[in-house]
Structure 1
Amino acid sequence: MVAAVVLLGMLANKLRVAYPILLVVAGLLTSLVPGLPVVKIDPDLIFFIMLPPLLFEATWTISFKEMKKWWRIISSFAFLVVFFTAMSVAIVTNHFIPGFTLALGFLLGGIVSPPDAVSIGAITRFVKIPTSTSAILEGESLLNDASSLIIFRFALLAVASGQFVWQDTTLSFLWMVIGGVGIGLLLAWLFVQAHKRLPTDAPSDIAFTLIEPYFLYWIAEQLHSSGVLAVVSGGLFMANRRLQFLSSSSRIRGYSVWESFVFILNGIVFLLIGLELPEIVEGLRLKGIPLHTAIGYGVLVTGVLVVARLISSYAAMIATMIFRPGVVPRTSSPRRRWLIPIFLGWTGMRGVVSLAAALSIPVVLDNGIEFPYRNLILFITFVVILLTLLVQGLTLPYMIRRANIFGRLTDESPEAMRKRLKQSLREHTYKFLRGKYERDFDGHDGIRKLLHHWEEKLKAVDDDWMSEKTKVIFLEMLESQRGYLVEANKEAAMDEEIIREQLFLIDLEEERLKMQ
């Protein structure tokens, strides 16, 4: 499977198609080959093994500055829109599917309501979108998993018990949200202290970061709180302090390890989605549900999800224009501004969490009765994932380019911003060296060369001038550059991704220096 993921990933890059789409289709076609064993997926494999590291890695790549700026719209999409979507699915399925109760409808709505972060990120790689829009989509995808799983749990409880107690549900909801965030922040603080105080090196730091999301998720779940929120809050806490407790070597090597690890995890999950189809179809056949009828229900639910998200996107835009006009996206024309909600509404591809939630539905209830409509819910979930990935995933890049929704993305291009940042960083470094070591310049060839040649990456043939004293000054200079970049990131117009690029280059410079 790993080999298939890697090869299909290469093919996806060649075809300029998001790799989740190709993997799901490949898994689906593979499952149709006669004689292959039926794949049975344990939901814990996805919930506990796959989900925590995927969420944790996402918190380290998202722009925390942009999340704070757009927290209102991110929160509304992650909680209010998810609830509105789940309610819409519940009402429609209760009306159109015979015998389908509102509790089952909310259960299905909780399963299919959260868009998948990986799919959105993979698809938007091939088109340029504004940093603000990207931050909204990434921030929403971090939090909507938690809100949808909370709805799913309460709906599952209502189906199993046949009743819904508002008082108990409200208290449980508050504990899941507040407890999840609190547990995540507390554990993350302990992890940071462990990294700081223990004599760790790069391999041990990376090993710790690989197991930390599992601890965050497992401990929160053991305390009946939200493991997803614990991982997200803890991951954001640690990511925002990475310069304080991880060395440059740990950051550089950890980046490569995590990039490969997450790519493999994501690939396996999307391949499994396609491979799961035969078992789901067999379950429908045993229940006597015609395949064309089940497909119709899946198309119906997919349509409800798209419409609900479009309505929510326009509602969010109107509310922002009324209450926060200063943060309304700037575009070259009013027409483009009103096209942005269409883009947000069309980014609702489903994936990992929806599959895991659907598979975690018990086969039988506590009283021994078979869980109602389990196979139909599984099939509808599969159809939703497949349709949103294929239809929305394949058309989204074309729609952005064709409609030219965003026009000119920013007043300052990324290249111009990068050039401006490098120039200001050079000026800061020159002033730092002049201000702190001006007395040492005379008679010290190494420091003089350091002043004149550091911006050229120090590619001189001979390194004899790099004395121990010069190394100390150089390391101080690099630390000063990091501090300058952290402050520069507070500038509203500065792209945090460019700041991280420069920090990564500084880490590489420090590692090169240590090897001399």
Structure 2
Amino acid sequence: MLESFSFYLSLIIAILLLIMLANKIKVAYPVLLVLAGLLLSFVPGIPRVHLDPELIFVVFLPPLLYEAAWVISWKELWRWRRIIGSFAFVVVFFSAMSVAWVANHFIPGFSLALGFLLGGIVSPPDAVSAGTILKFVKVPKRLKSILEGESLLNDASSLIIFQFAAIAVTTGQFALHEAALTFVWMVIGGTGIGLLIGFIFMKAHKFLPTDANADIVLTIVTPYVMYIAAEELHSSGVLAVVCGGLWLSNKRHSFLSTSSRLRGVNVWESLVFVLNGLVFLLIGLDLPEITSGLEGVSVTTAIGYGILVTGVLVIGRLISAYGAVVVTLIARNFITVADARHPGYKTPVALGWTGMRGVVSLAAALSIPVYQDNGTLFPQRNLILFITFTVILLTLLLQGLTLPWLLKKLDLEDLDHELSEEEEEGLLRRQMAEHSLNYVNSRYAREINTYPVLRQMAAKWSDNRSLAEEGIFINNECKTVYRDVISMQRQWLLNKNREEEKLSEEIVRKQLQLLDLEEEKLGLA
């Protein structure tokens, strides 16, 4: 382990440099990292990398999912729940079924069960790849929300398909009623366990004498406890982390202090930055081990199978995107849908092209056991690994590099927000300032006449300025008043976010963070 420490330390430095380069040339960093890892794997003397699936599933996956659950907007997730649910479950199953049929018919030695196993592995798109690309291109909030929501849930659905298919391959049997009961338990059990552990940790934050450092450590421990507990009880660890993370994210202002929220954001951004960088670089470095395992089939033939499966996934997702539009247009005649307007041909194209595969697919493929329970080799394991790697590489290169260009060409219209983000933010700040003035004038009229600094506060809200930025000193007599006003503003923002469906939660969260910063700078926390 110690002899490899300098190697992994140099990898982190390389990740930093590559991500800087990716930002400079406006390319999604997963693409650059996988290519760099691929090139590094051919350098003589580079240590052979073996990716342990437990390392990815237990060490990498829980914090990455948890952070994604904290960042996503629950309001948007609920608003687009039907399209998100269809892509996270129905489209994943459709993709797995399509891959199963094609593999069974065109890849020698692949049974239908093995095809479903491969389909379960390669069906979930990667959240990180799409997210990093969308940072470089302006897209409608709805598209971003749908992609973020889908990426949170599709890992769970694909891993459930994978587990059922693995059982069918190893036992040669598939009992539908047992699979249905297992599926129900995995979904309900995973959700329940995640919420229960989330509740326990929320109470720990609330009632234990924690400071900011202890709170941050607890937030890092939380997703691991959720995942491991759910997996030990044979339910979905992914759903446990996602559901628990979503619930705690919406409760964050009730149990985390201002300091904990501010410092936690920085710690989590750095942690996720390193984990994402490492995992994509390691994917590229793992190629020699994957290639060396191929037996009975040439590399050229295996690449051909990988291209075939990639084509099925890309075409299948595009068909699914247009199918979702048709279903929505039919369903609006019978039920209330989030948006009954026709989205045109552009949105399905954009949604269909965002199907890059990544870490979960490779981890699932690596978790296939070398031997079955009866001692025989697991059929086609090495070929499945190679096809999975090919799919990841091709989708990252083909879709990852062309998606920014495609999105710019499509020039999607934001149907939900007539105002620009700057205008919407300015309007929200003016409304909050007006509400704050009314609150202070009605509740603290005597204090305003007594303390000049409170008059400055009122002037600040009139001009939409920050006291902390202007360096105004608040004496102890005024701190109680100002602390109460900031608490009121925070609650007003949270209520506003709940009540106004089309108000961007990103803007609300930005204002909440500014309140936290002001509270911290003025020593009110």
Pick the TM interval, shorter chain. over 0.9
Opposite residue 230 of structure 1, the aligned amino acid is: A
Larger deviation, residues 450-459 vs 78-87: 450-459
SS class of match (1:122): helix
Equivalent positions of 1:450-465 (< 5 A) are 450-453=457-460, 455-458=464-467, 463=472
What is the aligned partner in structure 2 of residue 470 from structure 1? 478
Matched, 1:94 2:104: yes
Matched, 1:425 2:435: no
What is the aligned partner in structure 2 of residue 14 from structure 1? 24
Which of 209, 224, 238 lines up with 1:199 in the alignment? 209
What does the per-residue CA deviation read over 1:77-105, in whole Å, with 9 as the maximum and x for residues that have no partner? 11111111100000000000111000000
What is the aligned partner in structure 1 of residue 513 from structure 2? 504
Which of 293, 296, 311 lines up with 2:301 in the alignment? 293
- In structure 2, do the counterparts of structure 1 residues 227 and 462 end up closer, same or farther at CA, with 3 Å as the change threshold? closer
Opposite residue 183 of structure 2, the aligned amino acid is: F
Which of 310, 315, 321 lines up with 2:318 in the alignment? 310
- In structure 2, do the counterparts of structure 1 residues 433 and 515 end up closer, same or farther at CA, with 3 Å as the change threshold? closer
Matched, 1:382 2:389: yes
SS class of match (1:406): coil
Equivalent positions of 1:63-462 (< 5 A) are 63-284=73-294, 287-324=295-332, 327=337, 337-406=344-413, 410-453=417-460, 455-458=464-467
Contact residue 320 and residue 328 of structure 1 kept, 8 A? no
Separation (CA, whole Å) in 1 of partners of 2:78 and 2:468: 40
Q: What is the total number of aligned residue pairs between the two structures?
A: 510
Contact residue 79 and residue 338 of structure 2 kept, 8 A? no
| CA apart distance, 1:328 | 6.5
Contact residue 80 and residue 338 of structure 2 kept, 8 A? no
Opposite residue 507 of structure 1, the aligned amino acid is: D
Contact residue 328 and residue 337 of structure 2 kept, 8 A? yes
What does the per-residue CA deviation read over 1:485-504, in whole Å, with 9 as the maximum and x for residues that have no partner? 01111212210000000000
Separation (CA, whole Å) in 1 of partners of 2:87 and 2:267: 31
SS class of match (1:337): coil
| CA apart distance, 1:166 | 1.1
Contact residue 37 and residue 285 of structure 2 kept, 8 A? yes
Separation (CA, whole Å) in 2 of partners of 1:283 and 1:71: 42
- In structure 2, do the counterparts of structure 1 residues 49 and 360 end up closer, same or farther at CA, with 3 Å as the change threshold? same
Separation (CA, whole Å) in 1 of partners of 2:410 and 2:472: 55
Contact residue 368 and residue 381 of structure 2 kept, 8 A? yes
- In structure 2, do the counterparts of structure 1 residues 399 and 188 end up closer, same or farther at CA, with 3 Å as the change threshold? same
What does the per-residue CA deviation read over 1:418-443, in whole Å, with 9 as the maximum and x for residues that have no partner? 01001001101101111110122223
Opposite residue 437 of structure 2, the aligned amino acid is: Y
- In structure 2, do the counterparts of structure 1 residues 459 and 492 end up closer, same or farther at CA, with 3 Å as the change threshold? closer
| CA apart distance, 1:13 | 0.4
Larger deviation, residues 349-358 vs 439-448: 439-448
Moved over 4 A (4+): 325-331, 459-464
Which of 47, 61, 74 lines up with 1:51 in the alignment? 61
Contact residue 321 and residue 328 of structure 1 kept, 8 A? no
Opposite residue 406 of structure 1, the aligned amino acid is: E
Equivalent positions of 1:29-40 (< 5 A) are 29-40=39-50
SS class of match (1:456): coil
- TM-score, with length taken from structure 2: 0.94
Separation (CA, whole Å) in 2 of partners of 1:124 and 1:321: 27
Opposite residue 216 of structure 1, the aligned amino acid is: M
Contact residue 329 and residue 337 of structure 1 kept, 8 A? no
What is the aligned partner in structure 2 of residue 488 from structure 1? 496
- In structure 2, do the counterparts of structure 1 residues 355 and 461 end up closer, same or farther at CA, with 3 Å as the change threshold? closer
**Could you list the runs of 5+ residues in structure 1 that have no partner in the other structure?**
none
- In structure 2, do the counterparts of structure 1 residues 327 and 166 end up closer, same or farther at CA, with 3 Å as the change threshold? closer
Separation (CA, whole Å) in 2 of partners of 1:269 and 1:53: 13
Opposite residue 155 of structure 1, the aligned amino acid is: A
Separation (CA, whole Å) in 1 of partners of 2:326 and 2:460: 53
Contact residue 330 and residue 337 of structure 1 kept, 8 A? no
Separation (CA, whole Å) in 1 of partners of 2:448 and 2:144: 47
Please tell me the root mean square deviation across aligned C-alpha atoms, in Å. 1.7
**Could you list the runs of 5+ residues in structure 2 that have no partner in the other structure?**
1-10
SS class of match (1:441): helix
SS class of match (1:270): helix
Separation (CA, whole Å) in 2 of partners of 1:372 and 1:443: 82
SS class of match (1:514): coil
| CA apart distance, 1:461 | 7.4
- In structure 2, do the counterparts of structure 1 residues 60 and 407 end up closer, same or farther at CA, with 3 Å as the change threshold? closer
Larger deviation, residues 466-475 vs 356-365: 466-475
Identity of aligned residues (%): 57
Contact residue 127 and residue 152 of structure 2 kept, 8 A? yes
| CA apart distance, 1:329 | 5.7
| CA apart distance, 1:409 | 7.2
Separation (CA, whole Å) in 2 of partners of 1:407 and 1:70: 15
